[in-house]
Structure 1
C-alpha cells in the first residue's frame, strides 16, 4: 500500500496536510474525517507510478 499527501494549505512546509493510504483502482471520498479537504485541496504529493484524479 502507498500513500499520498493531500494539503488544504502548503505542502512545504506542511500545513493542513494529511497522509492518505491509497490502493490502485480505488477511490477515496473526502467525507467524515477528511471533509475539511472537500473543495479545499491546494497541494498533492503523489508517489511515482501513481496517477490520481480529483473531481468536484
Structure 2
C-alpha cells in the first residue's frame, strides 16, 4: 500500500495538471458555485448555453 501511495504522489508531483472526481456538495464546501440549488449555475444561466445539444 505504501508503495502505491508513493507512486501516486510521484505521478502527481511530475504532472502539469490533475483532476479529481468528487461526490456531491464538495464544491459548496470549497466555495465553488454548484450546478443545482438556489444559487446554482443551472438557475443563473439559460440551460441551452450549458447543455451539449448534440447529445440531446
Tell me the TM-score normalized by structure 2: 0.23
Relative to its length, the structure with more helix (as a share) is 2
Q: Which has the higher contact order (CA 8 A, sep 6+)?
A: 1
Q: Indicate the structure (1 or 2) with the bigger Cα radius of gyration.
A: 2
Tell me the TM-score normalized by structure 1: 0.23
